[in-house]
Amino acid sequence: MSTWKGRDVLNILDFSRGDLEELFELAKKYKEDLKNHRVNRILEGYVIALAFFEPSTRTRMSFETAAKRLGAATVGFTSGEGTSIEKGETLADTIQMLDSYADLIVIRSKFEGSAILASEVAVHPVINGGDGKQHHPTQAMLDLFTVTELFGSPDGLTYAVVGDLRYGRAASSFLLGLTRFNPEKVILVSPKQLRARPEVLMTLMDSGIRYHESDLETALEEADVVYVTRIQKERFPDPAEYEKVKGSYRITRGLLEAKAKNGLKILHPLPRVDEISHDVDNTEWQAYFIQAANGIPVRMALLSLVLKGDEL
Amino acid sequence: MSTWKGRDVLNILDFSRGDLEELFELAKKYKEDLKNHRVNRILEGYVIALAFFEPSTRTRMSFETAAKRLGAATVGFTSGEGTSIEKGETLADTIQMLDSYADLIVIRSKFEGSAILASEVAVHPVINGGDGKQHHPTQAMLDLFTVTELFGSPDGLTYAVVGDLRYGRAASSFLLGLTRFNPEKVILVSPKQLRARPEVLMTLMDSGIRYHESDLETALEEADVVYVTRIQKERFPDPAEYEKVKGSYRITRGLLEAKAKNGLKILHPLPRVDEISHDVDNTEWQAYFIQAANGIPVRMALLSLVLKGDEL
Amino acid sequence: MSTWKGRDVLNILDFSRGDLEELFELAKKYKEDLKNHRVNRILEGYVIALAFFEPSTRTRMSFETAAKRLGAATVGFTSGEGTSIEKGETLADTIQMLDSYADLIVIRSKFEGSAILASEVAVHPVINGGDGKQHHPTQAMLDLFTVTELFGSPDGLTYAVVGDLRYGRAASSFLLGLTRFNPEKVILVSPKQLRARPEVLMTLMDSGIRYHESDLETALEEADVVYVTRIQKERFPDPAEYEKVKGSYRITRGLLEAKAKNGLKILHPLPRVDEISHDVDNTEWQAYFIQAANGIPVRMALLSLVLKGDEL
């Protein structure tokens, strides 16, 4: 029996392995439907609010595409600019309004806890499209779906998570999501200023997942899945420090040819800047474009499970 | 026989009591449909242009939601930025274009008379989504619908209208809209810099509606409906003056407990800043969230009457 | 047999006379359907990405309207602001993403060659909604459709193209498009700083089209079709130079009454500033509003031919 209907999607930790497997099953079916141009209007008549207080290209457009592929309509805004918040309205009042217009709200904000607040105000389900530094649960869902698709299951694999593990919410949510499965181990690769947050490490530890810090070359030699994220210049008080650091986190075709474990796949939540060189794009290691494309079927599955649950 | 089909909606005074009652009847039916998740695609195939030269969250999104709930598509823009107007195009030319694309145009602008100009250029119906200081007819429609829903009819009630009565178009349109009914009387509560405009008062007088100015406490003791609007700091040349004034227009739970007439309901076009304290939200006095939610069924009714009239 | 299905639309020169005639035939049918309020949902289930890196009112909204009139959904952005490009993502990566979300991509950019690059990355068809200084093929299509509608065919007519022939992509694409037909001759009217680009003139010459430069009065006396474009102040290093020049390119009712050849029609891609005086709007010479309205049926035809080809 599905437990999805009417649920808020705030934190990847709110979902069990069984929940995620149910989601992946449906996403797989939708992916097949898309490939075969089968039109599905199961959400016709539904209105989904996209409340993007922080601009986003990929997350916003993939939710919008997912909704429309299922016949739902969307309303919303693409940045906080010009919204009532600028006139001094509270987030709660804005959400109250959206809740009375739409059947489901997707919220994206740079403020930690915005999605939780929204879910407390709203009668309808709220999906966290990314808030603050830690939570981006739907990104973790599509990441884990991609791993499942590539390897059959997330179990038994060695993961390296590379880049900004401190402020990058995609990396944190991915690490949290791994606790729903049985990874072999996790390798953390980051500059010392951007190490994984203690609460994330604690969660790994509590779940009995082995992890250790290492460098990029070791990671490439040992990992099956290398999850790369952007290192933002702004995180470094001293630009010279950034310049010194960034070369050590750059994956090139040459480096992969020299080091990569057999069957290794590279994920990246995108956008990338230069942490993965473009000469990797047409190799067997590349899985980030597959991952990006999976945003559609996974979010289609998510929207339909939350809105319809067992009625599907 | 309905007179709605093909009409422009520019000024609440263009509509008779009968017109408004027909609108409210249909809005009531749509509200019931929404509650029961009945999907209605009566406007499928129609395209509605949303020409929001001035940003708006609530009005824009509620028109968009209303259109999509009935199966219509929308096209448009959410601010004047990036439009041809910035390249020096006249409003008339922009409207001419929209008129050739869409079946109906909703326009919002800070310039008085934009909607009238648009209606002169366009062959298709034009709805004023707020222009200048005086006219926001669809807001008045949903306000009066809400009063009708709460009290059975706008007749025989005492109204207090509080806040910026000079520049606030929602307050002005609400006052003008009251002339289509038989209120017991109207109490006007505002700082002296923001008193109601003479042409609005003249219209009340011509309709035989009794009104007088008073303070907030008296208003709460006597009114059935208290219509509150935001007082904007920018209206005061001297910020100190604003600080002095604002406390006298703030409605709190304590104040209501001490003063409110039995059965009193508070309306507000929203967004609010701090003129209604948040501790009022969960009381019987609060009607502003109900009012905001009514934006959907009222605008659904409006769009379908203007586009389809008697064919409904 | 149609050759349209799956094709990129990058440059008007990629299309033969037969291709354009097939397009115009279908556009004519759709225009008739629109006039008779016949709803056509032939593209239901399709998602079209509108990637407008450069703001646009007319082109964007007419593609959006065209898509929605046929039941397709659209996703996208209306300016480069807030997109991943601002975070340092390459255009290729953004297009890769859109390609995995949508069934067709319309791209608008100020950078020459963006559309070609996009078409090389994308599996799905790419339509150039205007890039750089030379190419705006869908504008040329609707311009030539309008000429066909007004005169039966673009053949045998004398054309004057007036204004910024150097940087204006609508004018260049129109000139290139004329090479698919047999014009009597072409008159070029522009300030010397804004003369037609050599590669465009070369293409006219190679196609055996006679052209010469002249002034506005001669053009009005000889041309059947006068295609006017905006002269942008920014093109002139010296504002005084601009002021001196602009009067010589202004078409007024008085000038037309004095000079216009019998049956002359004025086109303009719009927006106009003051190169055509508003007193021309209600005369027989005006064809620019008809032309703008034709953006819908022509783009409907284009989208359905590219997505469905012979299956229509």
Per DSSP, which regions of A82-151 are E strands? 104-109, 126-131
Local confidence band at B51 (pLDDT 50, 70, 90 cut-offs): very high
Chains contacting C (3 or more CB pairs within 8 Å):
A, B
Residue C243 has pLDDT above 90, yes or no: no
Local confidence band at B50 (pLDDT 50, 70, 90 cut-offs): very high
The DSSP letter of residue C185 is E
Q: What are phi and psi of C75, to 5 degrees?
A: -135, 160
Amino acid at position B138, single letter: T
Give B75's strand partners: B49
Q: Helix crossing, B169-178 with B198-206: angle to 10°?
A: 10
What pLDDT, on the 0 to 100 scale, is given for residue A136? 97
Question: Which of A78, A79, A289 lies at the smallest CB-CB distance from C100?
Answer: A289
A101-105, B88-92, B171-175, C250-254: which range is least confident on average? Answer: B88-92
User: Which residue is listed with tokens 């407008």?
Assistant: C52
State the alpha helices, DSSP H only, in C179-275.
198-206, 216-222, 239-246, 253-259
* Chain B positions in Cβ-Cβ contact with residue A82 (cut-off 8 Å): 55, 57, 78-79
* Tens digit of each residue's pLDDT (9 = 90 or more) over A267-278: 999 999 989 999
State the average pLDDT over residues A195-223.
97
Local confidence band at B79 (pLDDT 50, 70, 90 cut-offs): confident
Residue C233 has pLDDT above 90, yes or no: no
User: Is A230 annotated as catalytic?
Assistant: no
User: Is A136 annotated as catalytic?
Assistant: yes
* Tens digit of each residue's pLDDT (9 = 90 or more) over C158-200: 999 999 999 999 999 999 999 999 999 999 999 998 999 999 9
Local confidence band at B245 (pLDDT 50, 70, 90 cut-offs): confident
* Tens digit of each residue's pLDDT (9 = 90 or more) over B262-277: 999 999 999 999 899 9
State the average pLDDT over residues B56-81.
95
* Tens digit of each residue's pLDDT (9 = 90 or more) over A48-106: 999 999 989 999 999 999 999 999 999 999 988 878 888 889 999 999 999 999 999 99
Specify the higher pLDDT residue, B144 or C239: B144
| Alpha-carbon distance B88 to nearest alpha carbon in chain C (angstroms) | 6
What pLDDT, on the 0 to 100 scale, is given for residue C66? 98
- pTM summary value: 0.96
Q: What mean pLDDT, rounded, does chain A reach?
A: 95
| Alpha-carbon distance B106 to nearest alpha carbon in chain C (angstroms) | 15
Local confidence band at B246 (pLDDT 50, 70, 90 cut-offs): confident
Chains contacting A (3 or more CB pairs within 8 Å):
B, C
What pLDDT, on the 0 to 100 scale, is given for residue A195? 96
| Alpha-carbon distance A65 to nearest alpha carbon in chain C (angstroms) | 7
Q: List Cβ neighbours of A187 (8 Å cut-off, separation of 6 or more).
A: A158, A159, A160, A161, A211, A212, A213, A214, A218, A219, A222, A223
Write out the two tokens for C133: 């200084």
What pLDDT, on the 0 to 100 scale, is given for residue C208? 97
CB pairs under 8 A between B and C: 67
Among chain B residues, the shortest Cα distance to C290 is held by: B100
What pLDDT, on the 0 to 100 scale, is given for residue C59? 96
- The pLDDT > 90 percentage for chain C reads 86
What pLDDT, on the 0 to 100 scale, is given for residue B242? 84
Q: What are phi and psi of B219, to 5 degrees?
A: -60, -45
Question: Which of B45, B82, B100 lies at the smallest CB-CB distance from C78?
Answer: B82
User: Any idea which residues of C carry the catalytic annotation?
Assistant: 58-59, 87, 108, 136
What pLDDT, on the 0 to 100 scale, is given for residue C86? 83
Q: In what order do the strands lie in the sheet with C104-109?
A: C73-77, C47-52, C104-109, C126-131
Residue B261 has pLDDT above 80, yes or no: yes
Distances (CA, A) of A147 to A266, A293, B91, B188, B221: 10, 13, 53, 65, 66
Question: Which of A75, A81, A84 lies at the smallest CB-CB distance from B271?
Answer: A84
Amino acid at position B211, single letter: Y
Local confidence band at A245 (pLDDT 50, 70, 90 cut-offs): confident
Residue C247 has pLDDT above 90, yes or no: no
* Tens digit of each residue's pLDDT (9 = 90 or more) over C31-76: 999 999 999 999 999 999 999 999 899 999 999 999 999 999 999 9
How wide is the angle at C-alpha B110 spanned by C-alphas B108 and B115, nearest 5°? 50
Residues A65, C75: contact at Cβ < 8 Å? yes
User: Is A37 annotated as catalytic?
Assistant: no
Per DSSP, which regions of B229-280 are E strands? 265-267
Question: Which of B75, B83, B90 lies at the smallest CB-CB distance from C65?
Answer: B75
Residue C142 has pLDDT above 90, yes or no: yes
State the average pLDDT over residues B102-121.
96
User: Is A210 annotated as catalytic?
Assistant: no
Give C76's strand partners: C50
- The pLDDT > 70 percentage for chain C reads 100
State the average pLDDT over residues C229-249.
84
| Rounded Cα gap, residues B179 and B251, in angstroms | 26
Residues C78, C55: contact at Cβ < 8 Å? yes
Chain A window 67-126: which residues touch B at a Cβ cutoff of 8 Å?
A: 73, 75-77, 81-84, 87-90, 92-94, 96-98, 100-102
Whether B47 has its CB under 8 Å from any CB of chain A: the answer is no
| Alpha-carbon distance A283 to nearest alpha carbon in chain C (angstroms) | 15
- Name the CATH topology of A138-292: Rossmann fold (3.40.50)
Q: List Cβ neighbours of C247 (8 Å cut-off, separation of 6 or more).
A: none
Local confidence band at C239 (pLDDT 50, 70, 90 cut-offs): confident
Residues C78, B77: contact at Cβ < 8 Å? yes
State the average pLDDT over residues A110-138.
95
* Chain C positions in Cβ-Cβ contact with residue A61 (cut-off 8 Å): 49, 75-77, 97-98, 101
| Rounded Cα gap, residues B61 and A102, in angstroms | 10
State the average pLDDT over residues B237-257.
88
Q: What mean pLDDT, rounded, does chain C reach?
A: 95
What pLDDT, on the 0 to 100 scale, is given for residue A250? 95
What pLDDT, on the 0 to 100 scale, is given for residue B98? 97
State the average pLDDT over residues B233-242.
82
State the average pLDDT over residues B135-144.
98
Residue C88 has pLDDT above 90, yes or no: no
State the average pLDDT over residues B144-151.
98
* Chain C positions in Cβ-Cβ contact with residue B82 (cut-off 8 Å): 55, 57, 78-79
Distances (CA, A) of C213 to B83, C177, C178, C203, C245: 33, 19, 17, 16, 16
CB C114: neighbour CB atoms within 10 A? 23
Local confidence band at C240 (pLDDT 50, 70, 90 cut-offs): confident
Residue C1 has pLDDT above 80, yes or no: no
Looking at chain C, the domain(s) classified CATH 3.40.50.1370 span 12-136+295-311, 138-292
Burial of B5 per CB tally in 10 Å (0-12, 13-18, 19+): middle
- Name the CATH topology of A12-136+295-311: Rossmann fold (3.40.50)
Q: List Cβ neighbours of C257 (8 Å cut-off, separation of 6 or more).
A: none
What pLDDT, on the 0 to 100 scale, is given for residue C153? 98
